Each structure stands twice: as C-alpha cells, then as structure tokens.
A and B are shown apart, each in its own frame.
Chain A
Amino acid sequence: EAAVTQSPRSKVAVTGGKVTLSCHQTNNHDYMYWYRQDTGHGLRLIHYSYVADSTEKGDIPDGYKASRPSQENFSLILELASLSQTAVYFCASSDRGGQYFGPGTRLTVL
C-alpha cells in the first residue's frame, strides 16, 4: 500500500500567521493532492500536481498556495491563516488508479 506521510500531525496557528503543511510519499507516484475535510463533510480539493515544479488549482484554491519541489514532496502554504481554514488537511498520491491518503493534519486557527 502507498506510503504517504504528513507533518505536522496537528498545529495551532494564529490568525494572520503563515502555516506550511508538508507531505512526503515514497511510492513513486506522479500525482499528489491536497484536500481539506471539515467536520462531518466530504473531501474538497485545494491544489494538486502531476509533476515536480508544477501545481494546479483544485476546487477551492483561494487562500492557499502549493509547492511541489520534487516528486516525493508536496507542501500546502497558508500565507495568512484565517479562522475559516480550521479543518483537517489530507495529502494524497496516486498513479492512474486510486488515491492513497496520508494520516492528515489537524489545523486549528485561533
């Protein structure tokens, strides 16, 4: 099974601060994704990437940036964190089949 790790696993940030969430995969997958999940809700795609040094906007990209410096690593950056960005963030990777998710990062913005 795909191995996707995320760091940190939880974080408390202040409003207006900068937050960086990191994701690392060891499966040689070309595609990587960032989703957010709000309590009791589904998964919404923020950004994704199909090759290193390139990122694409997902369905809810506003307020987020992404960086894919290598095939293995994909970061999500919140330049100015806001209360509405409190959520659980999942990273995933895939080839042309199913996506495999990391353990998630619980972000609380105060």
Chain B
Amino acid sequence: GEQVEQLPSILRVQEGSSASINCSYEDSASNYFPWYKQEPGENPKLIIDIRSNMERKQIQELIVLLDKKAKRFSLHITDTQPGDSAMYFCAARQGTGSKLSFGKGAKLTVSP
C-alpha cells in the first residue's frame, strides 16, 4: 500500500510563531490528503484537507500546500496558540478506493 513519511516527529515552538509539518508519499495516483489533529485521550479530528487538483488551501490559521511533482504536502500553522498543542497526522488516499495511509504523527508543543 501507499507509504507516507512524516517529519518531524516532534516540534516545539513559541506561542505566536509558525509551525510546519511535512509529509511525502510514494504513489503518484494519490489524490486526497487530509490532516488530523489528535489531543490526548481524544479521537483524531479532521482539520483540513486538500485534493490533487489544488496546490494550496487555507482555513483560518491552517495552510496546506501540495507539490504533486515532488509528491510532498505540508501543514503550516500560523500564529500558534497553546491550544494547537497536539499530535498531527497526515494521510494520503490512493486514486481508487477509500483507504487512507497515515504518517506516524508529529507531536507539536506550543509554549506560552
């Protein structure tokens, strides 16, 4: 199946700065890339996604970039707040079917 690499696995930033998480995938047929936020003891929640016909998508402080040629996509959180502290997972879906392949996650800590 699709392999998704996610880096870094841990990142720490100061409140008000930006945080970036990068993912790469192998299958050029992948066409849908969601991002999930998981707080301790909670379920993963879909926060933003991007389809292969787009290069950039923004929802408030969240920006997702997709580079299909490089098979990379990234999440950028601007003006981070302590409430952004969580695990973040990227995922990719292959062209057919509905299965998602998840990255191993990135633990973001935002310090006041």
Instruction: Decide: A98 and B104 in contact? CB cutoff 8 A.
Output: no
Task: Decide yes or no: A41 and B32 within 8 Å by CB, A31-B98, A59-B1, A97-B49 being known contacts.
Answer: no
8 Å CB interface, B16-69 against A = 32, 34, 36, 42-46, 49
Instruction: Decide: A43 and B45 in contact? CB cutoff 8 A.
Output: no
Asked whether B102 is an interface residue with its Cβ less than 8 Å from the other chain, the reply is yes
Asked whether B89 is an interface residue with its Cβ less than 8 Å from the other chain, the reply is yes
Which residues on B sit within 8 Å (CB–CB) of A98?
34, 46, 49
- Interface residues of B toward A: which range? 10 to 19
Asked whether A61 is an interface residue with its Cβ less than 8 Å from the other chain, the reply is no
Whole-angstrom distance from the CB of A51 to the nearest CB of chain B? 11
Which residues on B sit within 8 Å (CB–CB) of A64?
none
Whole-angstrom distance from the CB of A30 to the nearest CB of chain B? 8
Instruction: Decide: B104 and A42 in contact? CB cutoff 8 A.
Output: yes
8 Å CB interface, A5-34 against B = 31, 33
Most buried by B among A41, A98, A104: A98
Q: What are the nearest 8 A-B pairs in CB distance? A: A101-B43, A98-B46, A42-B104, A31-B98, A98-B34, A43-B102, A42-B102, A42-B105
